[in-house]
């Protein structure tokens, strides 16, 4: 497998073609954004942490029969993935309230949400990724009804699996964001799963081990990502 030219550069990743048309390389940068890019910065070595953490989680989910785009990790910052057509939808699961749901609905941070809340947002930077529902997805033709059903089924299972996975590492999975893509008529879990896309709280103390340390200038950001990686690699 040979690395070819760059085809896309996003806020946190760069994508390269390979000599294999169905496979691409996802390179993880240290660049970090929050609040729809209103806040920008660098978390030193974040690309390495997130690549390794994501690879480990995709491997775990793969063994639990969740189809993912992940093929294998190639280097510290690169993973080989299937070239999917990313759906313009972000899928958010909330087990406890934090972030935007507290602001939007006036819920206390840390309030348990039973059953977990499922949200969809429309991936559109210029609109600040607005919250949408299944009726918007249908009317805007962002995904078929059948695809939405598959995504909801996978997402519920992923939440159960990841909650247990992190609980074993003494981390509480507060919320997270998923992206899915189309590949040869199937839906695959795509993008990344990392402290950039999950809120992870230390069990007992509630210490934040995720991007909220960057969002709210809490310090020790690299240490938090390193800590998550160390536990995930155990
Ligand atoms: N999230 C993400 N990318 C986004 C928006 C949210 O990965 O573009 C993740 C975020 O890290 C958190 C969860 O989805 O784990 C819920 O995010 P929320 O809507 O609370 O985001 P906030 O408004 O706090 O940035």
User: Does residue 229 fall inside a structural domain?
Assistant: no
Report the nearest atom of ligand 1 relative to the CA of 92: 14
Q: What are the angstrom distances between the C-alpha of 57 and each of 52, 72, 162, 197? A: 9, 12, 8, 12
Q: Are residues 133 and 188 in the same domain?
A: yes
User: Does residue 225 fall inside a structural domain?
Assistant: no
pTM score, two decimals? 0.97
Digit-coded pLDDT (tens) for 23-45: 999 999 999 999 989 999 999 99
Q: Which residues line ligand 1 (CB under 6 A)?
A: 90, 92, 98-100, 129, 175-177, 196-199, 211
DSSP state string for 138-165: HHTTSS-HHHHHHHHHHHHHHHHHHHHH
Which pLDDT does position 36 carry in this prediction?
87
Instruction: Flag whether pLDDT at 66 surpasses 90.
Output: yes
Q: What's the CA gap between 211 and 221, in Å, rounded? A: 8
User: Does residue 172 fall inside a structural domain?
Assistant: yes
* CATH code at position 103: 3.30.470.20
SS3 assignment, position 198: strand
Which pLDDT does position 67 carry in this prediction?
98
Which pLDDT does position 78 carry in this prediction?
98
Q: Are residues 189 and 213 in the same domain?
A: yes
User: Does residue 232 fall inside a structural domain?
Assistant: no
Hey, what are 128's tokens? Answer: 């600040």
Digit-coded pLDDT (tens) for 80-127: 999 999 999 999 999 999 999 999 999 999 999 999 999 999 999 999
Q: Are residues 179 and 95 in the same domain?
A: yes
Q: What's the CA gap between 16 and 18, in Å, rounded? A: 7
Which pLDDT does position 64 carry in this prediction?
98
User: Do 43 and 225 touch, CB atoms closer than 8 A?
Assistant: yes
User: Does residue 223 fall inside a structural domain?
Assistant: no
SS3 assignment, position 135: helix
146 C-alpha to ligand 1 centroid (Å):
25
Show which of 32, 50, 82 is a domain's final residue: 82
Q: Are residues 102 and 73 in the same domain?
A: no
Q: Tokens 């939440």 sit at which residue?
A: 159
Expressed as residue numbers, the domain containing 123 is 85-218
* CATH code at position 10: 3.30.200.20
User: Do 93 and 68 touch, CB atoms closer than 8 A?
Assistant: no
Digit-coded pLDDT (tens) for 10-24: 999 999 999 999 999
11 C-alpha to ligand 1 centroid (Å):
15
Share of the chain above pLDDT 70, in %: 100
Digit-coded pLDDT (tens) for 51-60: 999 999 999 9
DSSP state string for 38-75: TEEEE-TTHHHHHHHHHHHHHHHHHHTT--BSEEEE-S
168 C-alpha to ligand 1 centroid (Å):
23
Q: Tokens 């934090």 sit at which residue?
A: 98
- How many separate domains does the chain show? 2
Helix (H) or strand (E) holding 215: helix 212-215
Q: Are residues 41 and 103 in the same domain?
A: no
């Amino acid at each position: 497998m040979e690395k070819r030219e760059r085809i896309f550069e996003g806020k946190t990743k760069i994508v390269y073609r390979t000599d294999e048309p169905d496979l691409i390389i996802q390179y993880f940068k240290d660049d970090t954004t929050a609040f729809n890019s209103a806040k920008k910065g660098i978390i030193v070595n974040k690309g390495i942490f997130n690549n390794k953490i994501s690879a480990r989680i995709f491997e775990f989910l793969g063994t639990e029969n969740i189809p993912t785009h992940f093929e294998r990790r190639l280097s510290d910052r690169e993973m080989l993935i299937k070239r999917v057509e990313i759906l313009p939808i972000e899928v958010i699961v909330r087990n406890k309230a934090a972030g935007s749901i507290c602001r939007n609905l006036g819920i206390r941070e840390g309030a348990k949400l039973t059953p977990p809340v499922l949200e969809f947002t429309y991936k559109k930077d210029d609109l600040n990724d607005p919250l949408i529902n299944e009726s918007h997805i249908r009317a805007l033709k962002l995904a078929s009804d059948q695809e939405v059903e598959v995504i909801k089924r996978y997402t519920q299972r992923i939440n159960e699996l990841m909650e247990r996975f992190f609980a074993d590492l003494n981390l509480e999975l507060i919320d997270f964001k998923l992206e899915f893509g189309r590949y040869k008529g199937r839906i695959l879990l795509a993008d990344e799963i990392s402290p950039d896309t999950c809120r992870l709280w230390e069990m007992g103390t509630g210490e934040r081990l995720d991007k909220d340390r960057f969002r709210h200038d809490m310090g020790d950001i690299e240490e938090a990502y390193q800590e998550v990686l160390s536990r995930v690699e155990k």
